[in-house]
Chains A and B, each alone.
Chain A
Amino acid sequence: MIKELHDKLVKKEITSEELTKQYLKRIKERNSEINSFLSVDEKNALKKAKEVDAKIAQGKEIGLLEGIPMAVKDNFCIQGGITTAGSKILEKYKAPYDSFAIEKIKKEGAVILGKTNLDEFAMGASTENSAFGVTKNPIDLERVAGGSSGGSAASVADDQAVWSLGSDTGGSIRCPASFCGIVGFKPTYGRVSRSGLIAMASSYDQIGPFAKNVEDIAIILDAICGKDPKDNTTVAKSTDFLNNLKPEIEGKKIGILREFLGDDLNQEVKKIIENKIDWAKKNGAEIIDIKIPGIKYSLAVYYLMVSSEVSSNMARFDGIKYGERSSADDILNTYLNSREDGLGAEVKRRILLGTYALSAGYKDAYYKKAQEVRDLIKQGFKEAFEEVDLILIPTMASPAFKIGEKTENVLEMYLTDIFTVPVNVAMLPAISINAGFVEEGGKKLPIGMQLIGPWWQEQSILNTALAFEKSIDRAKLL
């Protein structure tokens, strides 16, 4: 989609201003229903669009992302703009600087339409934990868009943005991509700088794109990946994903984790995934059953480590230097009241869990042990990748659930991350693409599938995902 729009801009079939106005109009029409955007910056979006149009009028060359309207999850700092992280405590917070990823896309000339809704501080799988209301799934308004990047996914699925940026700590890009029927990519931990991204779990968070197709994902990844001196976990590995993008399926060794495709999986999801496996086999891929010892501990390792890291990262929200400060008689009550008033239940729950897990007497049994088991899981993947090129699993165990369906039982919500979390535990790259639909209540609900690749092998994932994408009848998609 990005290339087609770029060609139209270059050929002057449409101006960036016209394109941007189209998207702004769509947002105005749809946002009160869907609630994908928390804030829209019409002024700056049109200003940028006009700058790009002036450049085109002068006969200057423009980049692929230049003049194309997109959206950003509201846990990315954009200088001068309100960044809420989906929380009341940052309801009026104005970021003093741009995230590194935002600096990069601004350099590319992207038109930023606004900030999208998310679970508070990116904690959740449905965007129901946002302090500003849930984001509805554009396909079925009674269902969730997924989370935590629900707004970013819904905006693209509903044609309110050409592409968007989200973040993925335990599946927060892949889950909403799956529920909304679009493509979402979580790069290898270390590909994209987290500087300026409001931190949730520092050894898990990773920024990534949402788009309608794989080619767009390649274009965006080339723009956002790269070393940032402000994020020491990033590496100086250059990327050329778009230029090396070609469909690859023949001869690819695809690993299947059969334990995840058992009888307790939703049988319709199982059938959809098995159809994809059959298609791959028919087209020359070698299907290899694999086992990863330790993978069953992924969820426990994840929630333990992430809660611990969250409890540390959330300590800065104390009403002192920024954010909402509640009235109090003394300093201790400033902290207590500000955090009580400003933070939601799920955030508090994870802070408590993490604080408990890290407290004296428990730290070794919990966090330290979890770190060791994390290494066990990483080793397991490393050995699997000695036998296979990619691993294929479902993204989510079911289609989008109904709003309110899972909010009562904390553990039930956590269990929805079962297929996405191992990827973050192992710091691997993975894509979620649409694999089919399940019909429920007269609506066709998308089912996503993941391709997981070895560390730094985003190209391999993109190329095979492209092959799969071409196998889907495009007319059947949204």
Chain B
Amino acid sequence: MSQKITIQEVQKTADLARIKLTEKEAVKFASDLDSVLDFFADIQEAQSDAVEKFDHYQLKENQLRKDEVSKKKEEFLEDIKKNFPDSQKNYLKVKTVNKK
């Protein structure tokens, strides 16, 4: 596993994360990420294969709850609609997702 992260890898990662980067930013991030990744490499030497999972909860069974709606739709709908960046009647409006 290479320690040096290339500008191409940064751009590909940025595409995956839907982050826009200028050439200059890509170079800066590559160097930032590089120093952090070097730092991460240390954990490779940790002997962690035989480690037991320790769960501090020590619960005897899964915690479940009923899958039921606790509040009325009307209680939230207006507040949620207020946050829509763009809307038409009761609908959230966005750019076309499916192109022919």
Task: Give A residues with C-beta under 8 Å from B.
Answer: 79-80, 93-94, 96-97, 188-190, 229, 232, 235, 294, 296-297, 299-301, 303-304, 311, 315, 318-325, 328-332, 334-337, 339-340, 343, 348-349, 351-353, 355-357, 359, 362, 365-366, 369-370, 372-373, 375-376, 378-379, 382, 410-411, 414, 427, 455-456
Contacts and interface: CB of A to CB of B under 8 A. Distances in A.
B10 A329 contact: no
A348 B97 CA distance: 25
B19 A330 contact: no
A373 B45 CA distance: 10
Interface string B1-33: 100010001100110111110000000010011
23 contacts: A94-B83, A96-B80, A300-B39, A300-B43, A301-B43, A303-B36, A304-B43, A315-B17, A318-B18, A321-B84, A322-B85, A323-B83, A325-B85, A343-B19, A351-B19, A352-B10, A352-B33, A353-B36, A355-B16, A355-B17, A357-B40, A369-B44, A455-B56
Given A188-B56, A329-B95, A411 B39 contact: yes
Given A94-B79, A352-B19, 16 more contacts: A93-B83, A97-B79, A300-B40, A320-B85, A320-B92, A320-B94, A328-B95, A331-B97, A336-B19, A349-B33, A355-B16, A356-B13, A366-B40, A375-B51, A379-B54, A411-B36
A162 to B, nearest CB: 30
Contacts of B32: 349, 410
Give the interface SS of chain A, mostly helix, strand, loop or mixed.
helix
Given A303-B36, A336-B18, A355-B13, A369 B43 contact: yes
Rank and list the top 3 A-B pairs by shortest CB-CB distance, nearest first.
A325-B85, A96-B79, A372-B48
Interface size class of B (residues with CB under 8 A): 35 or more
Contacts of A378: 54, 56
A235 B57 contact: yes
Interface of B: 1, 5, 9-10, 13-14, 16-20, 29, 32-33, 35-37, 39-40, 42-44, 46-49, 51-54, 56-57, 59, 63, 65, 76, 79-80, 82-86, 92, 94-97
Contacts of A330: 95-96
A357 B65 CA distance: 33
Given A297-B43, A410-B32, A427 B48 contact: no
Nearest to A189: B56
**Most chain-A Cβ atoms within 10 A of its Cβ — which of B29, B48, B57?**
B48
A379 B52 contact: yes
A378 B58 CA distance: 14
A322 B84 contact: yes
B52 A375 contact: yes
A372 B14 CA distance: 27
B54 to A, nearest CB: 5
Contact of A334 (B54, B57, B82, B95): B95
**Most chain-A Cβ atoms within 10 A of its Cβ — which of B46, B52, B76, B80?**
B46
B42 A300 contact: yes
Given A321-B84, A322-B85, A373 B65 contact: no
A375 B48 contact: yes
